[in-house]
Structure 1
Amino acid sequence: MPVLTGAEPFAHEGSDEIGVLLCHGFTGSPQSMRPWAEHLAAEGFSVRCPLLPGHGTRWQEMNRTRWQHWYDRVETGFGQLSARCRSTFVFGLSMGGALALRLAQRHGPEVAGLVLVNPSVTTEKRGAALLPLLSRVVPSLPGIANDIAKPGARELAYDRTPLRAAASLQELWRVVRADLDKVRQPLLLYRSAVDHVVEPVSARIVLDGVRGDDTTEVVLADSFHVATLDNDAPTIFAGSVEFARRVHEARVGEAA
């Protein structure tokens, strides 16, 4: 299945010191992370932003995938970076935040730190409990893409929400929530004050559940859900670079 123009994965071979894996969101693509990826590459970091299975083609393809397929793809990207970099970080948007948390749970201190933007680990939307049943008879519903405040900014994502894939996303959420106490890495969490896709409860669950002693929440006042393409994107980009360098320097100092 041909990949949509602009949805291609991103890779940059930079420093052997700091590597960053970027995880995009549900029904989205690396396009939503590309400005961030390019900023990190310009700072000299090694970067990977894989295209998750079922994404970047047609929404019907996504209904043939499950969360384990998406996780396996980011696991591969993480392995590529951790094999060559002294410190490997995982940054995630929305569902990508859940995948980032799962990597941290599975790999422990091999994940140097996390930067999450509007991470999703649950929903309060009406009818969510019926999704596993509904997905057996209804293939899709209207999409959730392009929740962006910045005029003219567009997200390359599906205009339909594939329900079998969405039901699998709920399974990922349950797995991640159950193991949040295993997340002890430094964490920087950006949350939009106005988000029409992910409710504030997700950020609260993450911040209350992780057990690290280096945890920071930053509220974005001028962006909606896809904040990596929105007005506050420069804040996210600069803050993530500062965070990664600070954590890396501390790790190197401890190792010495």
Structure 2
Amino acid sequence: MIQSNEYFFEGHALKDCGRIGVLLIHGLTGTPNEMKMVGKGLNRAGFTVYGMQLAGHCGDVADLNQTSWQDWYASVEVAAKQLKEKVDHVFVAGLSMGALLALKLAADQPKLIAGVGVYGPTFRYDGWSIPRYARYLNFLLIWFKKFNVFQNGIFIEQPPYGLKDERLRARVAASMFSGDSAAAGLAGNPYPALAEMLKLSALVRHQLPNVTAPCLLIHASEDDVANVSNSLLVQKKISAESQLVLLEDSYHLITIDREYKKVIDHSVTYFKAIAEKSVQVNPDQVAA
């Protein structure tokens, strides 16, 4: 069942491709809205799009802290199963931590996932806007959670909030600090949630060789949150073909920043090519 903050855009069968579906996964403390413009663009190309909401998100800090990475991933698995019922080919694309969840799904279910959109993957918070102490001491967050100390701590986001577009940055910041987390997400990252994200990061890093689906990696060359090295790690470790696209006029939130249309265009082209090749090899997989 689709939740109130989610969206499902019905597509149609494409010539030589069949019905292509894309599951979109937002990032930590984010919302489905950060994937919506990309979702609309993919739908205009004929794709069926499911913009899902991760467990514990779009509420308050307490809601998020009551969940674990296993809960977030379980919601991804349920959404992928729902999408599969509607389409011939399932693709999954995620932003930031959502990219890690997308890669994990591809590693765990290689027969289900035809390809992956890896948008600004974040194994480490090592972009240029991240304070030095946060880069090198974030491993302590796991220990804090294990021993139940500093669990009320929150890492408050700082400008530019992942956005190079200044007008959009102002609107998003106002929304975040208004308390409406369903619109633009939380204004900070709670320590317990960051600890869970770090656990997920370590696991997915270990699972990367199990990713056999082709991956389209799109990363901002000036990413303020996660250095391009995060995408290079994926490209190096996965057991599949990949394509890396660097954006020159965006920061971390590439799905809504100045070059979001490039994210759409590259994704449409890449996913269509995979679907066409798959149909050529196995024509029976496309429903009549």
TM-score normalized by the length of structure 1: 0.92
Q: Could you say which residue in structure 1 is the equivalent of 2:16?
A: none
Contact 2:162 2:224 in 1 (8 A): yes
- Can you give the 5+ residue segments of structure 1 that lack an aligned partner in the other structure? none
2 CA distance for matches of 1:144 and 1:234? 26
2 CA distance for matches of 1:33 and 1:255? 31
Q: 1:129 aligns with which of 135, 139, 147?
A: 139
1 CA distance for matches of 2:194 and 2:69? 9
Q: 1:152 aligns with which of 167, 185, 191?
A: 167
- Can you give the 5+ residue segments of structure 2 that lack an aligned partner in the other structure? 14-18, 127-134, 173-183, 284-288
2 CA distance for matches of 1:166 and 1:206? 21
Contact 1:181 1:211 in 2 (8 A): yes
Higher mean C-alpha displacement, 151-160 vs 136-145: 136-145
Alpha-carbon distance, 1:48 to partner:
0.7
Contact 2:155 2:191 in 1 (8 A): no
Q: Deviations over 1:39-79 (max 9, x none)?
A: 11222211111111111111221111100111111111111
Q: Does 1:162 align with 2:175?
A: no
Q: Does 1:196 align with 2:211?
A: no
1 CA distance for matches of 2:221 and 2:229? 12
Q: Could you say which residue in structure 2 is the equivalent of 1:142?
A: 155
Contact 2:7 2:51 in 1 (8 A): yes
Q: Does 1:9 align with 2:6?
A: yes
Contact 1:90 1:100 in 2 (8 A): yes
Contact 1:141 1:162 in 2 (8 A): yes
Q: Which amino acid aligns with 1:246?
A: A
Alpha-carbon distance, 1:122 to partner:
3.1
Q: Could you say which residue in structure 1 is the equivalent of 2:267?
A: 240
Q: Could you say which residue in structure 2 is the equivalent of 1:42?
A: 44
Alpha-carbon distance, 1:192 to partner:
0.6
Contact 1:123 1:202 in 2 (8 A): no
Q: Which amino acid aligns with 1:251?
A: S
Q: Could you say which residue in structure 1 is the equivalent of 2:233?
A: 205
2 CA distance for matches of 1:51 and 1:241? 22
TM-score normalized by the length of structure 2: 0.83
1 CA distance for matches of 2:10 and 2:124? 35
Corresponding residue SS for 2:110: helix
Structure having the higher Rg: 2
Contact 1:144 1:197 in 2 (8 A): no
Q: Deviations over 1:148-168 (max 9, x none)?
A: 001221441211211111111
Q: Could you say which residue in structure 2 is the equivalent of 1:182?
A: 210
Q: Which amino acid aligns with 1:203?
A: S
Corresponding residue SS for 2:136: coil
Alpha-carbon distance, 1:143 to partner:
3.0
Corresponding residue SS for 1:28: coil
Alpha-carbon distance, 1:227 to partner:
0.8
Q: Deviations over 1:190-215 (max 9, x none)?
A: 01111121123321211110011x21
